[in-house]
Amino acid sequence: MEGFELKEFLDAKVQEYNQTAFIENDPISIPHQYLKKQDIEISGFVASVFAWGQRTTIINKCNEFFGMMDHAPHDFVLHHTDSDLKPFLNFKHRTFNATDALYFIKLLSYHYNQFESLEDAFLKGADQNAEDVESHLTGFFDYFFSLPDHPRRTYKHIPSPAKKSASKRLNMFLRWMVRKDKNNVDFGIWERIKPRQLVCPCDLHVDRVGRKLGLINRKQTDWRTAIELTQNLKKLDPEDPVKYDFALFGLGVEEKYY
pLDDT recorded at residue 41: 98
Whether the per-residue pLDDT at 31 is higher than 90: the answer is yes
133-182 pLDDT per residue, tens: 999 999 999 999 999 999 999 999 999 999 999 999 999 999 999 999 99
Whether the per-residue pLDDT at 2 is higher than 80: the answer is no
Nearest CA to 164 out of 146, 137, 144 is that of: 137
81 φ/ψ angles, rounded to the nearest 5 degrees: -105, 170
The arithmetic mean of pLDDT across residues 103-123, rounded, is: 98
Whether the per-residue pLDDT at 198 is higher than 80: the answer is yes
pLDDT recorded at residue 4: 79
pLDDT recorded at residue 18: 97
The arithmetic mean of pLDDT across residues 55-72, rounded, is: 97
Any idea where the domains of the chain sit in the sequence?
3-253
Our CA angle for 197, 54, 88, nearest 5°, is: 90
pTM of the model: 0.96
Q: Which residues pair with 96 in a beta bridge?
A: 93
